[in-house]
Amino acid sequence: MLRPIARLLIVLTLAAGCASAPEVQPPVAAQRPTVLEQHGHTRIDEYYWLRERENREVIAYLEAENAYLKQAMQHTEPLQERLYEEIVSRIPQRDESVPTLRNGYFYYTRFEEGKEYPIYARRKGSMTAAEEVMLDVNVLAEGQSYFNVTGVSVSHGNDILAFATDNVGRRKYTIRFRNLTTGEMLPDEIPLVSGNLAWANDNRTLFFTRRHPDTLRSYRVFRHELGTDPAADALVFEEEDETFSTFVFRTKSKRYIVIGSAQTLTSEYRYLDADQPHSELRVFEPRQRGREYSIDHYGDHFYIRTNDDARNFRLMKTPVAATGRQNWTEVIPHRADVYLGGFEIFRDHLVVSERKDGLIRLRVMPWSGGADHYIPFDEPAYVARIGDNPEFDTPLLRFTYSSLTTPSSTYEYDMNRRERTLLKRTAVGGGYDPAHYRTERTYATARDGKRVPVSILYRDGFRKDGSAPLLLYAYGSYGASRDPSFNSAVISLVDRGFVYAIAHSRGGQELGREWYEEGKLLQKKNTFTDYIDVAGHLLAQKYGDPDNLFGYGGSAGGLLMGAVVNMRPDLFKGVIAAVPFVDVVTTMLDATIPLTTFEYDEWGNPADRQFYDYMLSYSPYDNVEAKEYPHLLVTTGLHDSQVQYWEPAKWVARLRARKTGPQRILLHTNMDAGHGGASGRFRRQKETALMYAFLLDLAGR
């Protein structure tokens, strides 16, 4: 590789311009050409050096970009402050989750006024008992610019709390323990873990997954016994295939500890008796490429959700003593038009989550063989999910529901009486009244004839005359469906006349497994063209102003934004690409980067010439050209472990060097955070306010 020495040139000078939006000269990153060769093909990457995380010049460049962003957006700072205050005003200052009964205690989280982080608490026996504060994350986070807690879990004996903390944002967690009887922190600390953990039933043994120090792949499962040196923890399982990651959980029955290994196309499980944490692991069913399955336990059987001979998945069961595939029998058959999602087991009922025509349905099935039924939902676009249901012996199903107009709601549903009770609907301040908002579901015809679902939100008084600014969001990867759930922040755009729409492009799983498979690997471009075709449909139907169309996507959705601005830059006035995966080929060729090997079956392995050529044909960074691009706001986090900061940084630098036209390219790097942005429920809204100000400024609102 060639890396000529060159000087990083950073220019930050004010130039002549209008008073409200002064022209500012952006930073210029030095070009240090690096030769990258693959399959006899040579690429020149002039910004490859920005990968040098410890290089002071790299940090200086990122800081200069932040300074440029601040100057370029300075005229919007009063708007940003108003937006921030609006968004925060809709977040309940004091809030509390619906309590969940586990092993004799009611567990819940709550927030106090002005506090950024949750308090984990419980009450013994009933909600009238004295509160026990298990963990106040606000105290732990004092003095930290970033802080996150995950994996909060109480031991089988109710007296030991395990939790994992990260104060950088790179998702390298440390497990810590608290004695809930005395309140003291135990000396056991386990670093470099994923935050995924499971207690055995002996009240002293914890199973956890450890990350690879470089790739951050969860690849080892260990067993820790309280009071022992973590350095001596026993290795229980190691996943040697670098395309797989591993995880651990305890079945709902509390009978088994399960260790899973999974990648995009294949999964495999091992299990042991939770009462005997030193017992030998048993393979549930050996992995077979292309076969996915997941398991839970009830009575004398394991239940298995699998795509074995079932593209849209089916539900099977097998005796505990005979878990091999040859013993599986069918509970719910495969259906070509219905995608089987998750399932929940109760003593008298089985509940399954299904997708049909892009919407989630919750189906209740009595074990007695009586008639099954679906829980009715009335809105045209919504999301309903099985909630937290740790108890077997109950006729009550906990589920959550929301829509673009209905805040997150927790219901308790009596499966015998077919009656539901609203336990909580998240309070939304700031004068929000759902009666003033409308949601629609429509379909756009893609260029190959497929019908792409679209969810739409607007305020009453909206006229479908092509005059409204329109923000179109999408994701479209990993089979992750972006359902139309409530987002209180986006109300600040809709109240200012924006129409907000979600394109349910291929690559997600809204219309079943086929919808996902047609948006990955050598069909990935369907995700991009679907999005473009949805935009065209919405404009043709007068939902938005062709001169005020905006795009937004993050992570793999940021790849989508990068691809579509290369393909159709003329469509958009402005685009937000959050933590975008834009340097596809170079990243997928580097197995040392976190997540790379795990994703060969999502994007393809560029070591194969066929995939290399296809990925190269759409990779946003590799297809930047000398043409006019829309205004762009690009965000990243210095400690991002999923999309490394240098991808958006390089992309912005190349766009600046090659683009024509006066449109601005802005880069915001959170120097204290990772993929999820700032921590804290209020602080993170500063970044939201910045993004919305970018859009509103361009739309003249």
The DSSP bridge partners found for residue 410 are 400, 424
Q: Which amino acid is at 330?
A: E
Clarify whether 675 is annotated catalytic: yes
CA distance 71 to 77: 10
Set 45, 533, 675, 679: catalytic member: 675
Set 481, 555, 641, 679: catalytic member: 555
Set 640, 668, 679, 697: catalytic member: 640
- Residue 215, classed as helix, strand or coil, is coil
- Residue 297, classed as helix, strand or coil, is strand
DSSP assignment string, 308-355: TT-TT-EEEEEETT--SGGG-EEEE--BTTBEEEEEEE-SSEEEEEEE
- Per-residue tokens: 212: 């690879």
Chain centroid to CA 136: 25
Nearest CA to 640 out of 582, 560, 569 is that of: 582
User: What DSSP character marks residue 31?
Assistant: P
CA distance 468 to 471: 10
Crossing angle of the two packed helices 685-699 and 77-89, in degrees rounded to 10? 130
- Separation of first and last alpha carbons in the chain: 49
CA distance 685 to 614: 38
Nearest CA to 140 out of 106, 116, 114, 121 is that of: 116
Clarify whether 156 is annotated catalytic: no
Residue pair 139/120 in contact by the 8 Å Cβ criterion: no
Cβ atoms < 10 Å from Cβ of 290: 10
CA torsion angle 68 69 73 79 (round to 10): -150
Clarify whether 640 is annotated catalytic: yes
Q: Which residue has the tokens 């996507």?
A: 553
The DSSP bridge partners found for residue 34 are 45
Q: What backbone phi and psi angles, to 5 degrees, belong to 317? A: -140, 160
Residue pair 602/478 in contact by the 8 Å Cβ criterion: yes
Nearest CA to 418 out of 479, 471, 483, 362 is that of: 362
Residue burial 396-416, b: 16+ Cβ < 10 Å; e: rest: ebbbbbbbbbbbbbbbbbebe
142 half-sphere exposure, CB direction, 13 A CA radius: 3
Chain length of the chain: 701
Active site residues: 555, 640, 675
